[in-house]
Chains A and B, each alone.
Chain A
Amino acid sequence: MSGAHASLREVTRSFATEKGSVLHALGPISFDLQAGEFFSVVGPSGCGKSTLLEIISGLSPASTGSALFEGRPVGSDVPEGVGVVFQEDASFPWLSVRENIGFGLQQQGVRSAEIRRRVDDALRLVGLWDFAEAYPVQLSGGMRQRVCIARTLVLQPRLILLDEPFGALDQQTRLLMGDEVLTLWRATGATVMLITHSLDEAALLSDRVGVMSARPGRFLEIVETGWPRERDSRLATGARFGEISSHLWGLLRGESMKAMRSQAVAA
């Protein structure tokens, strides 16, 4: 790890509600994503995790403060070198797996031989080689998510933002997908930021875990896991994993109850 790859400086985000009031959703928040690290963000529902990701990626503007990627301010466009994988299925149903993965390269005007080579590599990397000519409708939820991950990886992003990409998957598939993401992270050397609801997932995959408060979301603590770079889901059987998960839950329990109470009042 060497230096800040992306940073937020005193960032806040507010939204105007339908009733005309202002909802303070996030911040002020400041933190640095270190180059090449795996950083996860956990927090209660509605604390602004996804908003945080959208501000870093340029999908949504900050109300105040600034976001930087590789030292340059992030504007209203997604900077070159940033890839995002969403929780929802974002595969294109009218394209085959191969066409889905090569879509971004094709739009960038990359030569077809080069597209073929890179897509072939990505297909092997995410284990979809045998499904290259299939359409998303023929794949399971996990496989479609892998298509989206491959479509992001093939563009060789330097910062990969994952917005609860395994949210819709069952626990076993999540663990296996987590291992795959770790493999891809090591293979690409990219910086990864993962938004997740799962404390176990965050504890298992990350170098650091940012724990957010209830709305307006701020970092309560950034927890260092101390895992080696070579790791996989077998870490979940160790005592250290239990300690990290318990610590994360200890930080979050009160905030989650606060979030639940405020949701009940709003309802």
Chain B
Amino acid sequence: MRKATLIRVALLALLAVAAELACRTGLIGRFTMIPPSLMVTGLVRLLAQGELDGEITTTLLGVATAAGAAILVGFGLGAGLHAMPRLRRCLDPVLATYYAIPIYVLYPMFLVLFGMNRTPIVFIGFMFAVVGMMTSTLNGLDRVPPVLIKTARVLRLSRVRRTLKIVLPCAAPYVFGGVKLAIAYAFVGVLGAEFILSGNGLGYQIALAFNNFDNKTMYALILFVVLVVASVNSLFFAWEHRLLRRRER
């Protein structure tokens, strides 16, 4: 294990021990937070009993759908916009201010459009993620050095081969950053929408436990979400790191 990883793990362990001590000694009241060890046992119990399997599946499926659609559509729109510089110039201010819009306020409109089902929730996740993917794709394509495009022409590659063999591999680390962002935003969008607006899913279950003062369930679910998001992110971080290791000049 590298030194930085060791320090990171040690810091997290230290924080967990400090929280455990603070909760056990009464420094932090039980209604505020339960000891981390109880969060873990609560999570294990929830998972073992399978009570929330349906909710977990609903949320993860929603996040996967929102992220998958955002990655595909965001990449397509980013690539398309890159090929149309005039349109891009027109849309640049919209893209730059996009995340200033609180997307949740559009929920009533999505309800009218998609009906009372999971689609508006997933759509909010998609809306959160798609522009991040789009801007990362644009950024990646902008960074393909013109000399590589000239090289492709000298090597007499067709447009398709040029895209597949040179443009995409060259832009890959930046596009990959967009994938990572899209997944993170999809989690934020879907869970947030479930928390505020939905009648099912993990976000809703966290809100329900919170309203019922069921701290054990609430913290177990929060821990679950944090672990899932951190694991997915770490996986992508490691992959990205591997891609970038060969690139830094």
Contacts and interface: CB of A to CB of B under 8 A. Distances in A.
A77 B153 contact: yes
Interface in B119-157: 145, 147-148, 150-151, 153-157
B172 A94 contact: yes
Interface in B142-187: 145, 147-148, 150-151, 153-157, 161, 165-166, 169-170, 172
Contacts of A84: 150-151, 154
A17 interface: no
Interface residues of A, number: 23
A107 B154 contact: no
A93 B151 contact: no
A92 interface: yes
Given A59-B154, A77-B153, A88 B147 contact: yes
A86 B246 contact: no
B247 interface: yes
Nearest to A95: B169
A191 interface: no
A243 interface: no
B86 interface: no
Interface residues of B, number: 21
Nearest to B157: A107
Contacts of A90: 145, 147-148, 150-151
A135 interface: yes
B154 A94 contact: no
A204 B161 CA distance: 39
Interface string A155-176: 1000000000000000000000
A80 B156 contact: yes
Given A84-B150, A88-B147, A94 B155 contact: no
A82 B154 contact: yes
The DSSP consensus for interface residues of chain B is helix
Contact of B249 (A78, A93, A94): A93
Contacts of A137: 246-249
Nearest to A82: B154
A219 interface: no
B168 to A, nearest CB: 10
Contact of B161 (A107, A135, A136): A107
A249 B92 CA distance: 49
A136 B169 CA distance: 15
Interface in B32-81: none
Given A78-B156, A93-B247, A107 B151 contact: no
A57 interface: yes
Contacts of B247: 93-94, 137
A60 B145 CA distance: 17
Interface in A73-98: 77-78, 80, 82-84, 86, 88-90, 92-94
A216 interface: no
Contact of B169 (A77, A82, A92, A104): A92
Contacts of B148: 90, 92
Contact of A86 (B151, B156, B248, B249): B151
Contacts of A155: 155
A86 B170 contact: no
A137 B148 CA distance: 16
A77 B153 CA distance: 7
Contacts of A131: none
Nearest to B173: A94
A86 B165 CA distance: 19
Contact of A94 (B145, B156, B161, B169): B169
A129 interface: no
A103 interface: yes
A107 B165 contact: yes
A78 B154 contact: yes
A117 B115 CA distance: 64
A90 B149 CA distance: 9
23 contacts: A59-B150, A59-B153, A59-B154, A77-B153, A82-B154, A86-B147, A86-B151, A90-B148, A90-B150, A90-B151, A92-B166, A93-B246, A93-B247, A94-B169, A94-B170, A94-B172, A94-B243, A94-B246, A107-B157, A136-B249, A137-B249, A152-B154, A155-B155
| Nearest 6 CB-CB pairings of A with B | A88-B147, A84-B154, A135-B246, A90-B151, A90-B147, A104-B155
Interface of B: 145, 147-148, 150-151, 153-157, 161, 165-166, 169-170, 172, 243, 246-249
